[in-house]
């Protein structure tokens, strides 16, 4: 399977930060890519099959669609690490929607 390339208008998932007190958990939200940034060397990627290479992570600008409204976020880094138990995806990042 070939790697997907971000482009304006594509639907992705944005990971919300959640609240410090835990009232609201970090969660995936639908988002639309509104702008593209440069590839990013993102130091937290490992060597697993779903991890990105040093020059493959992308920065994008997003319109995030929340149940109560929209917000706009610029320069969001890509994170394709799968969420695992106590190691959830990092807030403030985006990833391709999981296939179901």
- Residues 26-43: pLDDT tens digits? 899 999 999 998 665 544
| DSSP state letters, the chain | -PPP---TT-EEEEE----TTSSS---EEEEEEEEEEEEE--TT--SSTTPPPTTTEEEEEEEEEETTEEEEEEEEEB--PPPBTTBPPPTT-EEPPPP-
Q: Rounded to two decimals, what is the model's pTM? A: 0.76
- Residues 50-79: pLDDT tens digits? 444 445 678 999 999 999 999 999 999 998
Whether residue 47 has pLDDT greater than 50: no
pLDDT score at 50: 44
pLDDT score at 87: 64
Whether residue 9 has pLDDT greater than 50: yes
Task: Return the domain boundaries, the chain.
Answer: 28-95
pLDDT score at 48: 45
């Amino acid at each position: 399977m070939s790697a997907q390339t971000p482009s304006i208008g594509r639907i992705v998932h944005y990971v919300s930060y959640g609240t410090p007190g835990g009232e609201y958990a970090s969660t995936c939200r639908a988002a639309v890519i509104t702008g593209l940034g440069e590839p990013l060397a993102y130091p937290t990627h490992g060597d697993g099959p779903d991890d990105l290479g040093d020059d493959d992570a992308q920065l994008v600008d997003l319109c995030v669609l929340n149940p109560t409204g929209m917000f706009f976020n610029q320069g969001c880094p890509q994170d394709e690490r799968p969420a695992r138990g106590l190691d959830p995806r990092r807030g403030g990042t985006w990833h391709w929607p999981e296939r179901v």
